[in-house]
Chains A and B, each alone.
Chain A
């Protein structure tokens, strides 16, 4: 009963936020009187129209790039982060390297990636992977480092192997932190995606938006912007739900 009430309350708050957002947009559009910021209803219509055209294709390409990058980054960063976090000897050796390279804005390597890997998907995917890899790596390492010693000891006293320790202690124990870093990484990934798609490419939502800009097709341009925003939103919701499902022990 109380839970149903809570759920209704949450849904209401969500709807209210959407309404406020639309209202602000509407006011902004009225105030600016610029073709770059159409009224919400007009924008919705042109979005539906664009989706029947090329937009869907570009959106698909972008989605593929961002999902593959995040997947690669996770698969690489999580095992490595746990390895560093649980083994101080290895960590001490790798820490200076991380310390030196972490603050470098990896996005400046884009031109090099373009030259070496060409203008295809691989240069973009690798760039996004590299950047999100660092975020996930550092978070995972810290989480593994802070793992309570009791958990490790009680596991070892059961005669656990390294793999058992990994599977039953470090991975589930670090999962909340990993998913948080993924949510943060998602924002970065989308920003880098946009940047990477605005250069030397003919596909992707970034290209679509900038192409519309150069053709002064503001209606479609705005549809592209909305589409990219919605893509970000749905990916975020997806991660949020994954967290609720995989880390149910936190939400008791």
Chain B
């Protein structure tokens, strides 16, 4: 068995809001091997983004153990985060958005130039380098956000609902594109989605989460993920149905049925 690249044990996160404590996550255990993809799926408010904030080093007020490659999470390390609304800066051009992380890491102008050019070229974004995010389509913006993350050569890529605002066609295009990147780089990817097909298409391991307080309800192993030809095939549809039944069962419990 391979050593887990990402391992979370008994994670507990609380928020303090107007003197009241809200437990966002409780007893969360999660592990993912290097070079694998994990997908987190669950209803709104079950603590998915909270979990990502911990992993990205944005929130260090948690109890339990969180290890990424054997180390506690921290900003600016080997982890890259792509947020729900991409987090691109509207006041920076595509180019300036992409080089930002390199600038913060005090790379030389030469390195910045060559690395950013390479990544933008690879993602087909070079002709758009001088544009501002507002001048891009949703899919292009998503690709810029991916470029901004990849240019730092991360080992772990966290994506919070990366494709939710894209139309179906663009969505599948970028899913394929992400798969390509994954195969090329051997990245470990953890992704949040509300979409069952997306979860089955992209996730080797699918974590079904439930609220009240947020925890992992079910872990589904899905080794067939990572194959372009998967969509529409029988095993794929079966897996989607299985996952759907898990999500619905949880809903029935919640309703007291």
Contact = CB atoms under 8 A, between A and B. Distances in A.
Interface of A: 148, 150-151, 153-160, 164, 168-169, 172-173, 175, 247, 249, 252
B101 interface: yes
A181 B38 CA distance: 48
A150 B83 contact: yes
Nearest to A172: B91
Interface of B: 53, 56-58, 74-77, 79-81, 83-92, 100-101, 104-105, 132, 134-135, 152
Contact of A157 (B58, B86, B91): B58
Contacts of A168: 89, 92, 100
Given A159-B104, A172-B89, A249 B132 contact: yes
A155 B97 CA distance: 10
24 contacts: A148-B85, A150-B83, A150-B84, A150-B85, A150-B86, A150-B87, A151-B89, A153-B53, A153-B56, A153-B58, A154-B87, A155-B87, A156-B57, A156-B58, A157-B79, A158-B104, A158-B152, A159-B57, A159-B104, A160-B75, A160-B76, A164-B104, A173-B89, A249-B134
Contacts of A173: 89, 91
B152 to A, nearest CB: 8
Contacts of B75: 156-160
A151 B135 CA distance: 18
A168 B87 CA distance: 13
A169 B101 CA distance: 13
Contacts, number: 67
A157 to B, nearest CB: 4
Leading 4 A-B pairs by shortest Cβ distance: A159-B76, A154-B87, A157-B81, A172-B91
Contact of A160 (B81, B83, B104): B104
Contacts of B86: 150
A247 B203 CA distance: 41
B144 to A, nearest CB: 12
A249 B135 CA distance: 10
A115 B79 CA distance: 61
- The residue in A150, A154, A164, A252 that gathers the most chain B C-beta atoms within 10 A of its C-beta is A154
A252 B91 CA distance: 11
A167 to B, nearest CB: 10
A110 B45 CA distance: 56
Nearest to A168: B100
B133 to A, nearest CB: 8
Contacts of A169: 89
Given A157-B58, A168-B89, A252 B104 contact: no
A158 B76 contact: yes
Contact of B91 (A155, A164, A247): A247
B250 to A, nearest CB: 28
Given A150-B84, A168-B100, A252-B134, A157 B89 contact: no
Contacts of B76: 157-160
A153 B52 CA distance: 11
Contacts of A247: 91
A154 B104 contact: no
A252 B84 CA distance: 24
Nearest to A246: B91
A89 B92 CA distance: 29
A175 B90 CA distance: 12
Of the listed residues A160, A175, A249, the one surrounded by the most CB atoms of chain B closer than 10 A to its CB is A249
B165 to A, nearest CB: 13
A175 B91 CA distance: 10
B254 to A, nearest CB: 28
Contacts of B132: 249, 252
